[in-house]
């Protein structure tokens, strides 16, 4: 984290996981992955600052939240991106998750700044908007998956999803994104107002809610920040560790190798959402 970036308007990347053996050393942490994919989506990426909010060290977390809150008070933050994590967002016995819950409800949501959640970030934002988060009875959703998009997301005012166009300017009706999750969001948050409600972005056969948009909140159950090579290495790591079975691994590997990863398009959506909703 550099001081010059902290004291100018920037996107706050809330990093919600720590080192993954044999993965982070090669590809960087979830914050690095997020910055990298956003940079590929735009030639003029706003400054970004990482805040490491997963730690068992209370003193370290105090320092991170002090910087975060000070920069928020000084109007240096133009938006938030909450990364993925291998943790369960519904846990209530983990200090760093409880502190994050408090920050979301007491600082992030009231700020009305554009806030984007990726995978775990999607789940914990939705949890703090009143949604149930739990294990998916269908098991893991792994590797590149095809999301059937909800056409209503293109009809909202200043929709950032209008960035999802083919070369011939035709809007997409489905999107390929990398997925790594076994927890899901059950149901949408309550409506913002009588005339405004949260929309589900789309669905897959394994997960009915693939993200939400409403007010200052935009989330994705998938990992648009993961590149294909990263995904293949992570799949192999999970299989080698016994986390997933051979059949799951082979199926996910096949889809990841054969389907076109369109995560960079979501980078364009995110940056448009931040630009349109920044204060």
pLDDT tens track for 154-170: 999 999 999 998 776 78
E strand residue ranges, 141-274: 141-149, 174-181, 183-186, 199-200, 202-203, 212-214, 217-220
pLDDT of residue 3: 47
Query: What pTM did the predictor assign?
Result: 0.95
Measured CA to CA, the distance from residue 104 to residue 124 in angstroms comes to: 9
Residue 102: which residues within 8 A CB-CB, separation 6 or more? none
pLDDT per 10-residue tile (average), the chain, 279 residues:
71 96 95 97 94 97 97 97 97 97 97 97 98 96 98 95 84 95 96 88 97 97 97 97 96 97 96 91
CA distance 254 to 241: 19
Domain chopping of the chain, boundaries: 3-277
Q: Architecture of 3-277 per CATH?
A: 3-Layer(aba) Sandwich (3.40)
Residues 6+ apart with CB under 8 A from 145: 176, 177, 178, 179, 204, 206, 222, 255, 259
How far apart are alpha carbons 67 and 69 in whole angstroms?
Answer: 6
- In the chain, the percentage of residues whose pLDDT exceeds 70 is 98
* Residue 173: strand, helix, or coil: coil
Burial of 26 (0-12, 13-18, 19+ CB in 10 A): exposed
| Per-residue pLDDT at 4 | 61
Residue 112 is predicted with a pLDDT of 95
Q: Which has the closest alpha carbon to 100: 151, 115, 190?
A: 115
């Amino acid at each position: 984290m550099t001081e010059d970036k902290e004291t100018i308007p920037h996107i706050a990347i809330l990093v919600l996981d720590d080192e993954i053996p044999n993965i982070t050393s090669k590809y960087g942490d979830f914050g690095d992955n997020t910055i990298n994919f956003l940079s590929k989506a735009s030639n003029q990426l706003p400054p970004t600052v990482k805040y490491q909010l997963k730690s068992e060290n209370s003193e370290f977390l105090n320092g991170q939240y002090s910087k975060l809150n000070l920069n928020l008070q000084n109007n240096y933050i133009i938006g938030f991106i909450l990364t993925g994590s291998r943790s369960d967002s519904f846990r209530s016995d983990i200090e760093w998750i409880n502190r994050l819950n408090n920050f979301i409800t007491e600082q992030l949501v009231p700020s009305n700044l554009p806030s984007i959640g990726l995978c775990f970030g999607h789940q914990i934002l939705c949890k703090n908007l009143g949604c149930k988060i739990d294990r998916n009875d269908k098991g893991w959703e792994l590797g590149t998956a095809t999301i059937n998009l909800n056409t209503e997301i293109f009809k909202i005012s200043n929709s950032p999803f209008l960035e999802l166009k083919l070369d011939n300017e035709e809007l997409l009706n489905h999107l390929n994104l990398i997925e790594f999750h076994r927890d899901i969001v059950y149901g949408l948050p309550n409506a913002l107002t009588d005339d405004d409600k949260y929309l589900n972005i789309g669905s897959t056969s394994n997960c009915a809610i693939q993200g939400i948009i409403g007010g200052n909140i935009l989330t994705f159950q998938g990992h648009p920040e993961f590149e294909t090579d990263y995904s293949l290495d992570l799949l192999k790591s999970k299989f080698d560790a016994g986390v997933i079975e051979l059949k799951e691994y082979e199926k996910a590997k096949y889809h990841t190798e054969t389907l076109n990863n369109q995560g960079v398009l979501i980078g364009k959506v995110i940056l448009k959402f931040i630009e349109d909703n920044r204060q």
